[in-house]
Structure 1
């Protein structure tokens, strides 16, 4: 029987945030890894002084902390104004997950910012023959402890280490309105936040809201460790390390400042700026109306000039989105998501357009008690099929058109008990390839991660996951934006750019490798909302 990956934990306490608790749950429940050692930080701040002595000795620090807490309160009340649910940072007890696991306590040698392990502690760790040490506590680790496990010390950096080293995670991105917030899992080296990257992901920044920004991408990032442990188990150490080396082959430079916790003065300026921006946004939303609409161009050749496209504007009580088109008998059958605001639930409607660009009002063709959108329509063996998004129902549903174009009959669930978004099928190499965004962890975004599955048959409930899932973990290009197509011998996948905000732009991604073991694509063209000042 194949041996599980032996994992050791570096922790400060046996209480941890909910996202860490869930990650460790996944490891303990898995077939590929087990927790075999807990290394506790033995350092505890001195607490033997009286309260009066503490106040006298640290009056400046206490005052500074009080000001900080008032600024945090101001941000929570004036800017965030809502609780994150589920809360990624809710305290959870780890003891029940670690019953029977050997525990050792170490007293690190502390310098200004770093922790060094004594030689005897490093040797003690090595005796447990740990494959992966997972850093969930301590400060910056230096020295021989970094070599005390077979595949190194793995550590999160909740930031994009190409542009943001230091911390705190998710703070500067939100308060300075960055378009995206990065996160990585790395094998630690001596250079701060410049270890060998195991995986990298990008999320849309929640503008001005530190709480919501941190909550979403911490929930997402809990999957990084289980995924990489499974990959290590499945592929073996040699192949795993070879991939890591190839993905970290180039020199890396970092030319931005080292980010640190803001001073009270910096934080006060950021909060004031955020409040003013919040007021400006409220004023804008009061006098402006945001609405999705459709655009089209009937040129026979490929048309890439967006300013030439004509608009189809919906009534003000609804929006139209996610158009998918079939062309038959000189007509364009445009299936859309129609979303009446009063109902707060989408259904699938149809617009019929002739070759002159004249079109009918939309009429419903598929409605359910739950929300429907993204009506992916396709033809196969003289039949027309649809896979509408039904993530609210936790299914991926297949429908067949039994009377074209408006009578649809449910066929089967391709997937169940899954939050799958904007599912898109593609036929290649005698297989069906299913692309879909999946929310693995409640609280994470549906915009960030694209998963790939394959099946030999269309009518299948057994879709095999790709070993590189998620094949894209980047809010700028993960989410599908329509039918995958071939042009001039190349395969293109339209994708959404959801940085800045949902639906900010879209891309064409050329799929250069697609098989059961490998997947590669690259963004070759992008569209941003620059052709019309009224488009955002």
Structure 2
């Protein structure tokens, strides 16, 4: 049973940025909680004036990279007047007067959320709510700085940009959500919009966790916060031109490389038994790659001494993919591929599995906003739609696992069209595969970093331990590598995993390795040569 919460959202003045408004709108749309907008009458105190060249750089970025996904666009709080109580405070900081602190306490809020607290300023707001003050922190940059978050990640060509949601209560700061997403190269403006839209989902997810795990919430999110990277100073007038020119140089190099033929994913295979530590010991054989296509997302079924390889076959001519299959028997020679499933929309990641003597498939159908279950009427070539497991959703690379009488469904997602799909892993469970009723895990998302999140094949057990392969997208190259995670705890209220093996493409003579599949005598991967 989810608890109805009383939530305070702190705003400065009459407008908030669009990414903050997104958080509010999503929580309000649940219709479950009572919302209070705590409006400080004074505008947020402005930071010191930025160096001239830095200000000019910001103006250039905003003009050059204008787009419809501007996370900093202003939204009036009057849009929320019908569904939230707006209360005015005269405070100019987070340190309330005794009268206004009593007013805050009287609201009996579960938390107060803000995007403006810097983590160290004097405050007493956190003492006025049961679960304290919730606030965000971006990467290298303190929130009281005049430099834009996501700046240094672009200028230093960092693979990922980080942010987190923190909870302050009784002078203790703990981590509620920590995540990273691939850095948008060349543009600080676009990179900030990307990480801001992503961060807008953090408070939404943890509000769901609080409503479900109310009595044990503080115990579950008790990890102390420490800065993993040093905060950075704003660049001087002397340094800004150098950073700008270096960034332009990288962009011109990128445009030049873009004219060269792009690498394409293909399938590679080798005979033998898979073990976590032995993948790089012997070479793989690449399947011939037809023109104008790429091959990816292999899944294997072993039946009657034949390995059936199901995979995505993407056509650059049609702009979508279908599911194909080929066979590799004892001689180890692949058969000619056959198309087994095609729809008007894009299909990929053909998760094929056996259940009660029948074969089923869950292909990725995110462009149809659904999770569809198919059954083989004539294995391996003929499939029919059994049912839609979930509708009106955007779940990517759905991966099933059955354990302790429950079906567990892992899938990555994105909360906004401008953000990556590689760094939020959701988990659902159901007691009946065919019920259409899937319960979201209260700790969603259970993985939040670009380097160890999106599914890279089916879960497997080796030497009594359960493992989950994940894509390593902490790189400018999509699908750069694979991380093998050992799952230590999996139940309706808990999930814990830890990486135990990193698989990199270079020892295999590849530029990327994206997915792993194996049977008792065959290993198949996909990669870019």
Match of 2:325 among 327, 331, 350: 350
CA distance in 2, matches of 1:107, 1:447: 40
Q: Which residue is 1:261 aligned to?
A: 234
For residue 534 of structure 1, report the CA deviation from its aligned partner.
5.2
Q: Which residue is 1:292 aligned to?
A: 265
For residue 436 of structure 1, report the CA deviation from its aligned partner.
1.0
CA distance in 2, matches of 1:233, 1:254: 28
SS of corresponding position for 1:323: strand
Q: TM-score by structure 2 length?
A: 0.87
Matched, 1:394 2:378: no
For residue 211 of structure 1, report the CA deviation from its aligned partner.
2.7
For residue 41 of structure 1, report the CA deviation from its aligned partner.
4.1
Q: Which residue is 1:241 aligned to?
A: 218
Gaps of 5+ in 2: 513-529
Q: Deviations over 1:214-244 (max 9, x none)?
A: 22222222222232233223333x4122222
SS of corresponding position for 2:249: helix
Q: Which residue is 2:36 aligned to?
A: 36
Q: TM-score by structure 1 length?
A: 0.86
Contact conserved, 1:39 with 1:104, CA < 8 A, in 2?
A: yes
The structure whose RCO (Cα within 8 Å, separation 6+) is larger is 2
Q: Which residue is 1:274 aligned to?
A: 247
Does the C-alpha gap of structure 1 residues 102 and 84 become closer, same or farther in structure 2, counting only changes over 3 Å?
closer
Match of 1:383 among 358, 361, 367: 358
Q: Which residue is 1:203 aligned to?
A: 181
Q: Which residue is 2:419 aligned to?
A: 444
For residue 415 of structure 1, report the CA deviation from its aligned partner.
0.6
CA distance in 2, matches of 1:189, 1:466: 26
RMSD value over aligned CA atoms? 3.0
For residue 85 of structure 1, report the CA deviation from its aligned partner.
4.1
Does the C-alpha gap of structure 1 residues 84 and 376 become closer, same or farther in structure 2, counting only changes over 3 Å?
farther
Q: Which residue is 2:523 aligned to?
A: none
Match of 1:97 among 57, 71, 80: 80
Q: Deviations over 1:234-291 (max 9, x none)?
A: 333x41222222x33xxx6547532243334333222211111112222223234311
Q: Deviations over 1:481-502 (max 9, x none)?
A: 1111111111111111111132
CA distance in 2, matches of 1:464, 1:233: 14
For residue 138 of structure 1, report the CA deviation from its aligned partner.
6.4
CA distance in 2, matches of 1:189, 1:333: 55
Does the C-alpha gap of structure 1 residues 43 and 535 become closer, same or farther in structure 2, counting only changes over 3 Å?
closer
CA distance in 1, matches of 2:91, 2:108: 21
For residue 423 of structure 1, report the CA deviation from its aligned partner.
0.5
Q: Which residue is 1:530 aligned to?
A: 506
Contact conserved, 1:32 with 1:230, CA < 8 A, in 2?
A: no
Of residues 68-77 and 93-102 in structure 1, the stretch that sits farther from structure 2 once superposed is: 68-77
Contact conserved, 2:266 with 2:294, CA < 8 A, in 1?
A: yes
Q: Which residue is 1:508 aligned to?
A: 484
SS of corresponding position for 2:165: strand
Q: Which residue is 1:215 aligned to?
A: 193
Contact conserved, 2:366 with 2:394, CA < 8 A, in 1?
A: yes
Contact conserved, 2:13 with 2:44, CA < 8 A, in 1?
A: no
Gaps of 5+ in 1: 47-57, 110-114
For residue 532 of structure 1, report the CA deviation from its aligned partner.
5.2
SS of corresponding position for 2:437: coil
CA distance in 2, matches of 1:43, 1:397: 49
Q: Which residue is 2:443 aligned to?
A: 468
CA distance in 1, matches of 2:244, 2:282: 39
Q: Deviations over 1:427-464 (max 9, x none)?
A: 11122111111223343321111111112222221112
Does the C-alpha gap of structure 1 residues 484 and 429 become closer, same or farther in structure 2, counting only changes over 3 Å?
same
Q: Which residue is 2:100 aligned to?
A: 121
SS of corresponding position for 1:296: strand
Q: Which has the higher helix share?
A: 1
Match of 1:143 among 123, 130, 141: 123
Matched, 1:367 2:347: no
Contact conserved, 2:13 with 2:40, CA < 8 A, in 1?
A: yes
Does the C-alpha gap of structure 1 residues 462 and 172 become closer, same or farther in structure 2, counting only changes over 3 Å?
same
Q: Deviations over 1:390-424 (max 9, x none)?
A: 10000111111111211111111111000110001
